[in-house]
Structure 1
Amino acid sequence: MRLLLLAFAGLLGVSLPAAVQAQPGVRISVADFLKAIEQHPDISAHAEGIESIKSEIDIARISPDPSLVFGNVSGDISGLNMPQQLYLGIDYTVETGRKRQHRVQLAQAQVRLAEAEHAVFVNEFKRDALLLFQHCWMLEQQIQEDLKYKHEILSLPVTDSAARLKQQLLLMENQLLLDVAQDDLKESLDELNDVVEHVYGSQPVLPGSWVWSFEKYTSAQASRYERLQVSKASADVVHQEVLLMAANRVPDISFSLGNNFVGRATNPEAPSPRYNAITATLSVPLKFSNWHGAERKREELRKESARQQEMEAVGVVEHQFDETQDDIADLSATFTQLNKLIALQERFVAQLPSSQSLEKLEELTQLHGYRHQRWEIFDNISKRKADLFVLTGALPRDPSVLAGATN
């Protein structure tokens, strides 16, 4: 399979200079394209959201601030000259149940979730960009094959009116396909250049090769499913939320320490001098409600639901991975057979005598149809490879997956 693809790439490489002349610009490799994509403003903007979430960790570490309490504790309004009492003190709440620790752990879990979601966002962004890159490269090759087909039709000597009419019909049909492909290529290249404009500016870029090789992903490459990281992080957030809720049910202890400023009493029954009195209090809430029992049951249900969703996500992703691998294997087998069929058809066309111009035109049409089928299979393989990339994130982590790197 590998040798067949290299031969296929070599045949396409023969016509590549014509494409360069038709579309002036600098050809960039897949690796260079990926570097440009990683610097895209949309990715940078999405990453900034993680930094704002990280700030929640510092906020979670903050303990309750003390309160300054000042007031008139006892004010005589009876006119009996009883003592006036003013209070100045500090109230402070001591958190119990490791509330601060659980707040920090929840904030850290939320950061991990944001990072996992960002990784999926980046992979999906790269997937779309790489598919566009590959689509542009494929259209160039298709156009070159259509031009080659046109040349083959024109170079064939026609000996009768039926063959001449058939030749004109095929040329017109091919020109329609060429026009569609060239318009598609122009629009796709404009879109491709918009994607890398932040790096290359107004300098036009062109794809230098295909993106995905036809080698099968190994189990080592698939050992970490990017999409599962989101499910795991989401379950961890729920777990930390439940722990924090349980901690919040533990009553806090409040301390109060202050000074009572007692004024002078001049009433004849109980005169007293002016003095200060230290006041210290401890407040411990008492629980008499069974409401918290219902809360615990609800939280356990949330944890169980999160665990169930995580397990289901594992099964779904593994099924998607296996299904995609099978699709790639089937499509690759079809691709191989089409290459063999094209090679045989080319030999058959070459052996037909020029005098059989009508028959040769029919066989050329059949050959061109096989070539178009090959590109359809090639495109489908690319899309399924892109699906694997989003599932595993293997493309940026393993350069050997890139065509042209070690292939």
Structure 2
Amino acid sequence: MNKQSWAKTNKLFFICFLAIHCHCFAQIDTTFNKITIRYADYINLVGKNNLGYAAQKFNIDIADANIESAKVFPDPELGIGWFDNGQRRMNMGYGYSAQVGWLLELGGKRKARIDLAKSEKELIQLLLLDYFRNLRADATISFLTALQNKFLLDVLLNSYQTMYRLAQSDSIRFRSGAITQLDARQSRLEAQTMLNDVFQAEAEWKASLANLSLLLGQKQKDSLFIALGSFDGFERNFNLSDLITTAQNNRADLLAALQGKTVAQNLLKLAKANRVIDLGIATGIGYTSYVRNVIAPTPSFTPVTAGIAIPLKFSNNRSGELKAAYYNNLQAEIQYQQAEVQIQAEVTQAYFQYQATRKQVQQFNNGLLDESRAVLDGKIYSYQRGETSLLEVLNAQRTYNDTQLAYYQILFNNAAALVELERAAGIWDINF
């Protein structure tokens, strides 16, 4: 290769590296508005602004309205009538009447309706608590995901910058004849490959930030919340038996299942009350005009009437409503037992998962990261002195990258496992 070709090749390498470097940081340093937020503020805003949770709260108002409806007495009925005997030639006269009727509910129907509506409200309140329990845990995991994705982006970006600097150095060393053109090209290709990984990690990070805005019920088009925090503060010591007992006492969904039994019992009481015969009470007044007929003249008179009506409840021969309420009561009992078993299984599984992730974190904390970093630094130093090959440097770089990525994945898994364990146990002390 002549001197002119060497010069053109070197110039081309410099232009490529400069373009890669500028393009990378033009992409990473985006222009969107960044609103930094810490976990405590974030979870507080989720409770206040989450749209799904806000919609669920209206169920309480609906339940209150249903209680008011259950208290209503049957409406009275007003009847007005007029008659004309139609015998004008014989002067038979005319008349009118007015009547008020009212249904008297027997068997405690009104009380049964009110008790059912009140028990349904208590059930809805417990379901709302359970909704927030899951919302809080899901929002926390979303926040942890945003943190993790930022750490992963930093790892890949730092790896790219290291390889970029190595590629720059290789370009200079190639010009001086210290390495071959193949090695210089290889380091450049590795830098470009890492740059693609950076772009992908950046997209995943921004997607997780957009999910934070979704949970916060925000509509900003040009702003994203940036999660601030670390994976410290997720170390806990638990006793499995105590956790199961706590969950069975505190879990809102189990309390809701228990309240579901009460609702089913009240529904059965209402079904029985509906089979009791009601009474219709009526009173009225009428007026009949003077009959001027010469055969049977009759003076005008005003009759007053009162009476009762007893419905013939042939429908009681069909006990479908009563049977449905009875079986619903049995179903609620089985569902409560199933909820108890389910909660015990969830707590047990979450406990063992958390214990496993704690051991994995301890494994990394025993110096695994430091060792992989020391190996990489040593390989780069040896390569720059010509004592080792580029392939060994690349292998060490990949090992270090994989170790860092695995480390942050384990930290995230450990934090998420604690969140799931406390979700399952019905406790909450997460703060980081």
Residue equivalent to 1:87? 97
- Out of 272, 280, 284, which is 2:298 matched to? 272
Mapped partners of 2:81, 2:213: distance in 1: 70
1:342 aligned to 366, 369, 374, which one?
Answer: 369
Cα deviations by residue, 1:324-352 (Å, 9 ceiling, x for unpaired)? 22112212222322332334444566677
For 2:220 and 2:272, locate their aligned partners in 1 and report how far apart those are by CA, in whole Å: 54
- Note closer, same or farther for the CA distance 1:374–1:303 as it changes in structure 2 (3 Å cut): same
Which residue does the alignment assign to 1:38?
A: 47
SS at match of 2:206: helix
Name the CA distance, whole Å, in 2 between partners of 1:41 and 1:331: 31
Partner of 2:302: helix, strand, or coil? strand
After TM superposition, give the deviation of residue 402 of structure 1 in Å: 1.4
Q: 1:209 to 1:102 in 2, by over 3 A?
A: same
Q: Supply the distance in 2 between the matched residues of 1:289 and 1:50 (Cα, whole angstroms).
A: 35
Q: Deviation at 1:122?
A: 3.6
Offset, 1:203: 5.8
Q: How does 1:343-362 map to 2 (within 5 A)?
A: 343-346=370-373, 354-355=381-382, 357-358=388-389, 359=392, 361-362=394-395
Q: Indicate which of 197, 202, 213 corresponds to 1:177.
A: 197
The code of the aligned residue for 2:207 comes to E
In structure 2, what is the equivalent of residue 402 of structure 1? Answer: 431
Change (3 A) 1:160 1:333: farther
RMSD: 3.7
Moved more, 134-143 or 48-57: 48-57
The alignment covers a number of residue pairs equal to 380
| Partner residue, 2:265 | 239
CA distance in 2, matches of 1:33, 1:289: 58
Shift of 1:201: 9.1
| Aligned residue among 280, 303, 314 for 1:254 | 280
* Structure 2 residue aligned with 1:370: 403
Q: Which letter maps to 1:113?
A: L
Q: Could you tell me which residue of structure 2 aligns to residue 7 of structure 1?
A: none
1:209 is the counterpart of 2:245: no
Distance 1:262 1:24 in 2: 86
SS at match of 1:261: strand
Point out the more displaced range, 204-213 or 134-143: 204-213
Give TM-score scaled by structure 2 length.
Answer: 0.73
In the alignment, which residue of structure 2 is the partner of 1:58? 68
User: How do residues 107-256 of structure 1 correspond to structure 2 at under 5 angstroms?
Assistant: 107-150=117-160, 167-168=187-188, 170-193=190-213, 195-196=215-216, 198=218, 204-210=224-230, 213-215=234-236, 219=243, 222=247, 223-256=249-282
**1:206 positional shift:** 1.6
After superposition, the Cα gap between the structure-2 partners of 1:214 and 1:168, relative to the gap in structure 1 and judged at 3 Å, is farther
Answer with 81-90 or 316-325: which moved more: 81-90
**Following TM superposition, by how much is the alpha carbon of 1:31 offset from its aligned partner in structure 2, in angstroms?**
0.9
Shift of 1:106: 2.2
| Farther off after superposition, 271-280 or 198-207 | 198-207
CA distance, structure 2, for counterparts of residue 243 and residue 367 of structure 1: 69
**SS of aligned partner of 1:275:** coil
State which drifts further: 156-165 or 117-126.
156-165
One-letter amino acid of the counterpart of residue 225, structure 2: V
Equivalent-residue separation in structure 2 for 1:284 and 1:197 (angstroms): 57
CA drift of 1:247 comes to 1.4
> Which protein has the larger Cα radius of gyration, Structure 1 or Structure 2?
2
345-354 or 300-309, which deviates more? 345-354
| CA 60–197 in structure 1, closer or farther in 2 if over 3 Å, else same | closer
SS of the residue 1:272 aligns to:
coil
Q: Is the 8 A contact 1:317 1:391 kept in 2?
A: yes
Q: Evaluate the alpha carbon distance shift between residue 194 and residue 259 of structure 1 in structure 2; reply closer, same or farther with a 3 A threshold.
A: closer
For each residue in 1:291-311, what CA deviation from the matched residue of structure 2 results, as whole angstroms up to 9, or x when unmatched?
A: 255543342122112221222
User: Aligned partners of 2:73, 2:117: CA distance in 1, in Å?
Assistant: 15
Match of residue 4 from structure 1: none
Q: Could you tell me how far apart the structure 2 residues matched to 1:139 and 1:145 are?
A: 10
Q: Deviations over 1:309-328 (max 9, x none)?
A: 22212222321222122112
Partner Cα distance (1:213, 1:247) in 2: 55
The normalised TM-score by structure 1 is 0.77
1:8 alignment counterpart: none
**1:268-347 maps to which residues of 2 (within 5 A)?**
268=294, 270-287=296-313, 291-293=317-319, 295-340=321-366, 341-346=368-373
Where does residue 18 of structure 2 map in the other structure? none
| Structure 2, unpaired ranges of 5+ | 1-27, 171-177
CA contact (8 A) 2:130 2:251 kept: no
Indicate how the Cα distance of structure 1 residues 326 and 108 shifts in structure 2: closer, same or farther if over 3 A, else same.
Answer: same
Q: CA deviation at 1:129?
A: 3.4
The 3 A distance-change label for structure 1 pair 103 and 204 is same
383-392 vs 365-374, greater mean Cα deviation: 383-392
In the alignment, the residues of structure 1 paired with residue 340 and residue 353 of structure 2 have an alpha-carbon distance, to the nearest angstrom, of 20
How high is the sequence identity, in percent, across the aligned residues? Answer: 18
- 1:48 is aligned with what amino acid? F
Find the partner of 1:48 among 37, 53, 58. Answer: 58
Gaps of 5+ in 1: 1-18
Report the residue type matching 2:410 in the other structure: I
Structure-2 change in CA distance of 1:20 and 1:121 (3 Å): farther
C-alpha spacing 1:22/1:201, structure 2 compared with 1 (3 Å): closer
Distance 1:65 1:353, change over 3 A: closer
SS, match of residue 257 in structure 1 = strand
The amino acid of 1:112's aligned partner reads E
Asked if 2 retains the 8 angstrom alpha-carbon contact of 1:349 and 1:364, the reply is yes
Q: Please tell me whether the aligned partners of residues 50 and 216 of structure 2 are also in contact (alpha carbons under 8 angstroms).
A: no
Amino acid at match of 2:100: I
- CA deviations on 1:36-64 (whole Å, 9 max, x unpaired) are 21222513233234323321211211111
Amino acid at match of 2:195: Q
